[in-house]
Structure 1
Amino acid sequence: MARAGRGYATYCRQDEDPAAAVQLFYDRIAKPFLMDIEIDWNGLEVIEVFPQRIPDLFSAQPVIIHGRYTKPGQASIKIKGNVRGKPVTQTIPVTFPAVEPSHDVIPTLWARTKIERLSDESYGKGETEDLVNEITELALKYRIMSKYTSFVAVSEEVRNVDGKLETVQVPVPIPEGVSYEGVFGEEEADMGYYGGTGRALKSAPYMAREKAPVPLSGATQNGTDKKAVLDGSVSFETPTVLGSLTASDVTSVLETIEDELTDIYEKYLKKDSSIEGRTVFGIAVKPDGSIEAVVVKSSTLDNEDFEKALVKELKKLRFPAPSDGGKVIITVAVVFET
């Protein structure tokens, strides 16, 4: 909408203050420097300029246009527009060289802008064969990703030795400040990102739910008139591993501290019987197998002290030394239930 109206758009992340973004937006549109901009190329053979309707120039917001010229040349171009309702013109001498190796990225920027314009056309015309073909040809010629083209990474490493297939777990990249559960929901997260393949791999599923009152039959008694003590259960979902360790290697090591994590869980259950949930940990492993760092990536436990105690215990882990001598990054979800 901003492009169609020659206006200005701003973006606000979910963890940013929208009031500040709105104020910045109003500050900028309240200070137009040049309106109704036109360019007189003064005889230079310039074609396919995008955006075709040049946006108005606002405070602290540059206007960037991309175009092509068919032959080199020199001229003084004229930039015309209105300031406070009055016409103004500025003359700028420019040189279009025959060849300029240091500017070899500019054709790619122009191609991206043209693809953006063609994509906008598809909203009105639909994805016609001509539009799709034109976008595809541009993307292939200038080696850029588009809706119809993508990059393919070809590895020279042979992984299916003796014809035996090997599953390689690939994590789904998530923008900073965004959780997979927040976008796709807890159940989808179990099936994809934290399962390790991004498609229908589900291990130890957990869905957050309301805690019901605990009957005495679901607890053990320490003695007369003493609090009921809940039995805790700890389970690991299939980890995602970046590095030369396998998911099986990681799971085997994690299971060695299952009892310790259960003891910690039950200790905190004595303080708060409502603790239950799922925590995703990021674990960085050094080349010698020791732990470099452990962080909580997301959690539904709502108990910071409990999470800190879990991190402290996970830092005691020792994994097999990675075969390639490099670091390993592990993402694993741990489920706590009573």
Structure 2
Amino acid sequence: MLRSILTAAVILTVAAVSTAQPLDESGSGRMQVTGEEGVVGDLPLEHTAVVIDVSGNLQRATVRQVYGNPYDQVIEAVYTFPLPQSGAVDRMNMWIGDRLIEGKIHERQLARQIYDDAIAAGQTASLLEQERPNIFTQSVGNILPGDSIVIEISYVAPVEYDDGEYEIVFPMVVGPRFLPPGEHIMNVFGIYQIATSVEDADRITPPVVPEGTRAGYDIELQLNLNTGVAIQDYESVNHEVDMRVGLNGILTIELENAEEIPNRDFVFRYTTASDRIQSGVIAHNGAMGGHFMLILQPDADISVDEITPKEMFFVVDCSGSMSGQPMEVAKETVRQFVAGMNPDDTFQIMRFSETASSMSRTPLPNTPENVRQGIAYINTMSGMGGTMMIEGVRAAIGYPEDPERMRFVIFLTDGYIGNEAEILGELQSTLGENTRLFSIGVGSSTNRYLIEGLAEEGRGHAYYVGLNEDPEEAVGDIYNKINDPYLVGIGIDWGDLQVHDVYPSRIPDLYAGEPLVIVGQYDGSGTDRVRITGTVAGRRWSQEMDVALPADQEANDVVATLWARKRIHELNRQMYDSYGYVNASQDIIDEITDTALDYQIMSEYTAFVAVSEEVRTDPDSGEPITVQVPVNMPEGVSYEGVFGESGGRGGAMNRSSYAASPSVSQSLGFGGAGLVSGEECNEPSLDYYDGDGWETSWLPSVTHVSASPTLGLLPSVVRSAAREMAEELEEAYGAFVEGLDNADDWPTGTVTFEVTVNGSGAITSVSVSGQGLDDGLDGELCDILTGLDLPAPPDGAGIIRLQYSFQKTW
């Protein structure tokens, strides 16, 4: 569906406004900068309220976004925002006044179709899509002037724990993403065109309010801690908080400022009276079968007489987004690392932006003279240019290993890139057995999906240093982990318990203070003594614990949700590639989609949609004007570092593409790679000729897209049966197009089939709903689908709508 697009910072006027503002028919509009604080007002997003309830090692969060319409025309609001990368989003509802419309999860393409159809019909609708595990897009369409619409999103997540300290994080803003140049040409919010390797660049780069201003919406947050034991100490890293204890012993933490600017992560750390995480098993056995979460603090303390010499590589992101305060924090962190090395260590210091460079040709011994040389090299660092992180990874990981030493790479970055899969794929495929990577996120609102992923693929650990934190604690913690023996080669003997589909599938190394956290499925029930084994400091280690898996346990249903979230993460990791997702397997995508639909959680291939039954605007009055909600620049991030001085030289934007606010981007020269002129944006020609060239060979392709409703059957059951029919449908489609003289005459598109199913699961009729391909071909395809093999639907007889995509490929 094509709509006029208003980026909510196109025209700025300095004036106070208290009445609704008109939008002109071209889609350009007015918004206001008011007051001494430079508040950008008249935005459809008005307020966000967050409540996080923590019980033991699990958290449940509810996020309420309030949308309005300050204009005199019907609008659609589009907001790009972050959520924790480890969370499983399992609910999205919409409130129009006091009316609740429950969101339903579908395949992403189907959810988008339902949303678009509802908007065209004059209904108010909302759509929640996932771009990355930590980036989401909320669309709310047909918001009437004066409306107040609340979108309620909920997720569950584990509480992070390391070495006696728990941490709760709620991200508040999506930072500007660097987009390496490549072959995908697209419009970014209708403001400029880029050529990038990131296929969904326009989905992860919301516009940023102009320098010196802030968005008019705000955020409030409440954290309720039910830890079961007394809290000894706590720290709120980026925000001032108020704290109170209820009669029930629950500790409530709230932001001191109830109208906080969402420009930095909420990070709350605390310790309890117990210096160890509570070990045990949490189990759930319900409609989806048995699921469990095992938590164990290994008792693997082994003292060693000598600390093994190491090869230390310190790698610093020196791109434009790191300039200013983040760069000063990173430099101080590396200075402390260099000062804290052991006498027999060797070290290398590297930096990267558009290219990578190093302090010396080879790692240097830890001598006073070499340390002075290293400190001098660190002091020269500054942030400028783009973030070609692949260069930094290859420089550190690709350098020949010293067979006599373990290499530890300390990688410092804000993570502001859009090609995460490429970086993680490179690390996954090239990490040597004698190399470990520890990542450090620097700044107020880092890309934790990437930073956690670097540590996961690097078999290390992730740390974070805020703008106002002394890095001493992080430096000390990392040295404690790499100096002490750590547990490797971990295996679990489940005895007679029927355990399967355990994640992580490859248990990572465990460093000092880290717990073992495993999720899995089980059949039946039982009790047994589980044996965990591994190696620490070259010695065999084992520990046992009693595990009871119940036959019936309706409580703890979030365990099943978290298992599904972990499974999706593991499947996504199988698609990491050093060129991004180009090797994405349709089989893996189907597995992810099946899991997400069965467990009703979001993924990159599923989405929530909510539609009001009421027609609230005249469908013939035209489409709503789309208003893209701008975001704040993360605290401490330099506009000049990202966009260049007054849009001039020196910013990362000049080498490729960070998303700029329109007021900034219009003044940029964009002379570097990644930006193209309009006439260069034609689709590449696929016309190849006989003779010196070759002739295009087109092939028919049929892919199952969606299935809804499923009549009480698990979505994976219906989708699997539908996929089984794709090959036969493709044969019929291929036979039809073979009889056509010109490939341009091939009928293509997505076709919806209505499949009537009786109470026993037999197919009684099939018909095409809406646009088909060809009357004769449609009839043949319907006949094929009568062979769909389904079990008896629990909800009884009904109609299942199946969608297939018919395309030509070459």
The TM-score with structure 1 as length reference comes to 0.48
Structure of higher RCO (CA pairs closer than 8 Å, 6+ residues apart): 2
The TM-score with structure 2 as length reference comes to 0.22
**Higher percent of residues as strand:** 2
**Higher percent of residues as helix:** 1
